[in-house]
Structure 1
Amino acid sequence: MDDHSHEPDPEKRVTAPMQEFGGREVGIGAAVTLIGLLLAYVLPALLI
């Protein structure tokens, strides 16, 4: 069977859910979530 994959070695490919992440990424995600919640709920409540 011929391998027609465009990847050099498909068995070694790493996808995003498999990659490790650290505290910095968690902090950035928490900050983005907090800002989004503020914009979505707090700001409209203040403008009423």
Structure 2
Amino acid sequence: MTDDNGDTSEYDPQEPTPPEREPPYRQTAPQSTFTGSQVGIGLIVTLVGVAVTFGVPLLLG
């Protein structure tokens, strides 16, 4: 397998024989920790969204 730079790689998914070593670990959806301020901002955004979703129709109705 050749990449754009012309380098060859040991791992080829089309090759039936496995490579001598495992392919590099790929993390597609990392879950990182949240800080307290990020949680607070998310809570405020949620409360504003709920207030707009339910408050505006109640005020207009």
What TM-score, normalized to structure 2? 0.53
* Larger helix percent: 1
Alignment identity in percent? 31
Q: What are structure 1's unaligned runs of at least 5 residues?
A: none
- Greater radius of gyration (CA): 2
Q: What are structure 2's unaligned runs of at least 5 residues?
A: 1-17
Q: What is the match of residue 15 of structure 1?
A: 29
- Deviations along 1:20-41, one digit per CA (max 9) or x if unpaired, are 1111110111011011101110
State the superposition RMSD in angstroms: 2.4
Equivalent residue pairs, number: 42
Q: What is the match of residue 13 of structure 2?
A: none
What TM-score, normalized to structure 1? 0.64
